[in-house]
Amino acid sequence: MKHAFLLLLITSAAFAADAPKPKPKPEFQYQTEGIQVSLPTADEPKVKAFGPETIKAAAKYLDDGAICWVREKTCVNCHTTGPYLSERPALSKQLGTPLEEVLADFVKTVPAEVKPQKETEKDGIKYYGGSWTSIWRSMGLAEWDKHVTGKLSAHTERSLQEMFARQSANGSFVSFGEVEIPHITTDFELTLQAARAATAAPGWLANLKDPELLARVEKMKAWLRNAPPKNDFDRILRLQLAHYMPELVPQTQRDAVLALLSSKQHADGGWSLRDTSAVNDWHFKMSDTVVKLINGLPDAAKPESDAYMTAFAIVLMRQNNIPASDERIQRGLKWLKQEQRVSGRWWMQSLYRGNYSYITYIATAQALKALALCDELH
């Protein structure tokens, strides 16, 4: 009996030694030589008063995060450099010109020659690898051209051509990969970002002559017009589609979606991203890790207001001609101003990977956009 007990202890110790150890929590969210950005935390103090200095702090947070990523990671992504280059150029009037080093990082990923792409099939899904990278790159370059230089660049035009080379036969762009809420979710969300890139590029659609590209654009429009929503987030995104391609969303549909969005506003004035989809409906193949993370949050049964969805709701209403004086928007703005942290950012609980809380970066970019659209960045 004694020998059996010793054997059990030794075996248990061996299994414990072989078991994968959890990754150590990083010390910083972003870091490079001369820049260290602390990890976002729920207990970071909130600002005493929103104003010019807290706006500067938010802008610095976006700049620091983007430059750290460019220097240390060097990849286009949907959680740091993507949001930076897609949202920051429109804020040039209020915050100054965005960092050209981030632009250069995007430009260097544009292929010198656009080649046919190979479709891949996995788990019964056909898709083109790298679609979301190509879309986020094209969107960032297009927004830079629109708001900084005012003219279409050769690299943006080539990036858009390469983006459409990754379009599926039905006109959509398939969102295949690890879900990263609120980006890389449904095919509708990803295809909508491709539409944004195409419409943001100065003069690109108006001057498009290539028959194949024209046909691809029309197929994208047809798919976006008719695609059934996977969740309420897809439904709400039709307000963004109405802004970029108004001909695709009739007024009756806009009114219905605005009513849906309004119905989701919380008593405190904010909105919650988690109110817009069942956990398993964010992506066609949700990972167990993400499902457990979301279902394990303290407020899983009744999600609290969050910075991203509150800001995004305000953006969508402003993009659909709801005045900034509207009571719904004013309540949302009040919530945002009260929730900014002393570092300048708007903290948010990660919904896909916990250690770095990149969604805090996305939420901060969206919050500044919402405030700018309401003439609150002074």
**pLDDT at residue 21, rounded to an integer:** 53
- Estimate the crossing angle of helix 211-226 against helix 154-164, to 10 degrees: 60
Pick from 171, 154, 270: which is nearest to 214 by CA?
171
**pLDDT at residue 354, rounded to an integer:** 63
Handedness of CA 57, 59, 60, 61 (dihedral sign): positive
Hey, what are 365's tokens?
Answer: 């970019």
**Residue 41: Cβ within 10 Å count:** 12
Handedness of CA 261, 265, 270, 271 (dihedral sign): negative
CB 282, CB 237: distance < 8 Å? no
| Cross-strand bridge partners of residue 126 | 121
CB 261, CB 313: distance < 8 Å? yes
Query: Rounded CA gap, 360 and 368, in Å?
Result: 12
CB 215, CB 167: distance < 8 Å? no
Task: Kindly state the DSSP code that residue 245 receives in the 8-state scheme.
Answer: -
Pick from 213, 102, 199: which is nearest to 152 by CA?
199
| Tens digit of pLDDT at every position of the chain (378 positions) | 444 444 444 444 443 444 445 566 788 999 999 999 999 999 999 999 999 999 999 999 999 999 999 999 978 998 999 999 999 999 999 999 999 999 999 999 999 999 989 999 887 888 888 899 999 999 999 999 999 999 999 999 999 999 999 999 999 999 887 788 998 899 999 999 999 999 999 999 999 999 999 999 999 999 999 999 999 999 999 999 999 999 999 999 999 999 999 999 999 999 999 999 999 999 888 888 889 999 999 999 999 999 999 999 999 999 999 999 999 999 999 999 999 999 999 999 988 866 789 999 999 999 999 999 999 998
Hey, what are 99's tokens?
Answer: 């960092």
Query: Rounded CA gap, 156 and 75, in Å?
Result: 17
The string of pLDDT tens digits covering residues 230-245 is: 999 999 999 999 999 9
Pick from 177, 188, 81, 83: which is nearest to 129 by CA?
177
CB 102, CB 70: distance < 8 Å? yes
**pLDDT at residue 284, rounded to an integer:** 82
Q: HSE, CB side, 13 Å, CA atoms: give it for residue 325.
A: 0
Query: Rounded CA gap, 364 and 181, in Å?
Result: 15
DSSP H or E run through 266: none
Query: Rounded CA gap, 327 and 334, in Å?
Result: 11
Angstrom CA distances, 265 to 195, 269, 275, 317, 363, stand at 27, 6, 10, 12, 17
**pLDDT at residue 24, rounded to an integer:** 67
**Residue 330: Cβ within 10 Å count:** 15
**pLDDT at residue 22, rounded to an integer:** 53
**Residue 261: Cβ within 10 Å count:** 23
28-373 topology per CATH: Glycosyltransferase (1.50.10)
Query: Rounded CA gap, 361 and 182, in Å?
Result: 12
| Cross-strand bridge partners of residue 310 | none
